[in-house]
Amino acid sequence: MEVTKNKNILISNPETKDFLADAYYPETDEKLPLVIFVHGYKGYKDWGAWDLMAEKFARAGFFFVKFNFSHNGTTVENPHDFADLEAFGNNNYSKEMSDLKVVIDHFYQDPKVDGQKIVLIGHSRGGGISIITTAEDERINGLITLASVDTLERFPKDEALENWKQKGVYYVVNGRTKQEMPHYYQFYEDFEKDIHRFDVERATEMAKAHVLIVHGTSDESVSVKSAEHLHLLHPNSELFLVENANHTFGAKEPWKEHELPKDLDVVTEKCIEFITEKM
């Protein structure tokens, strides 16, 4: 099946700033389910094997979208690198929620899309953002979490939190690029100001969509217990554990192979099967 790859579509969000999205879809006259992939912390749309995953979804008959959050550190001119650390430091959950809504609104109107079939797939922190968005937006019929967090309250504690408040910034070293990536204190203030909205547990219980929770049993970043917890909160969800899989299901950056890593291929097939059955 011929797949169209529409890369680096400019999306404007007046509440944040411009960012880029990709759309992958098969050439057909039929309206297609819309699947939107939401990347996680220190993630971006072109990371690792996400392109291969997008292509596999498109070949299976979906309109697949992935995008960069406006403040993930990439830029419109340089979508593959953390070229704007100032933006990264000024990111927060409100901005990510706003960006995701703009992406949904933008592609919901595409004539190729079936507006009755909208699915979010959130990886890691993007899982938390996707869960909350699903609870807030009744257009979303399907939710898939990949290695998702079960809380967005992932901040320094006690003395470290006080130090962050005093200094206004703390840094995290990016293991791959070795960049010192800033987090300004506004990130915590934004969370505190809207703490009820950013309650992932509450949103999981409220989500009215079909839910699939996917996690690797050897996830080094987010414990598999998070997946089990989300499943308990939403008993109608399906839990799919991948034995010995890590946080990115075998993918890494750069990914130079022409095939998906084995674990991510298994996950992608499971997601396709789940959406096909439920929609």
Catalogue all structural domains in the chain, each as residue range(s) with its CATH number. Answer: 3-151+200-278 (3.40.50.1820)
Q: For the segment 228-275, what is each residue's pLDDT rounded down to a tens digit? A: 999 999 999 999 999 999 999 999 999 999 999 999 999 999 999 999
Amino acid identity, residue 273?
E
Whether 235 and 218 have beta carbons less than 8 Å apart is answered as no
Q: What is the mean pLDDT of residues 208-224?
A: 98
Q: For the segment 33-69, what is each residue's pLDDT rounded down to a tens digit? A: 999 999 999 999 999 999 999 999 999 999 999 999 9
- For the record, the structure tokens of 279 come out as 């929609």
Per-position DSSP letters for 115-176, written without gaps between them: EEEEEEEEETHHHHHHHHHHHH-TT--EEEEES--S-S-----HHHHHHHHHHSEEEEE-TT
Looking at every residue in the chain, the average pLDDT score rounds to 98
Q: For the segment 131-156, what is each residue's pLDDT rounded down to a tens digit? A: 999 999 999 999 999 999 999 999 99
Is pLDDT of 183 > 90?
Answer: yes
* Confidence band of 4 (pLDDT split at 50, 70, 90): very high
**pLDDT score of 1:** 78
Residue 118 has φ and ψ, to the nearest 5°, of -125, 130
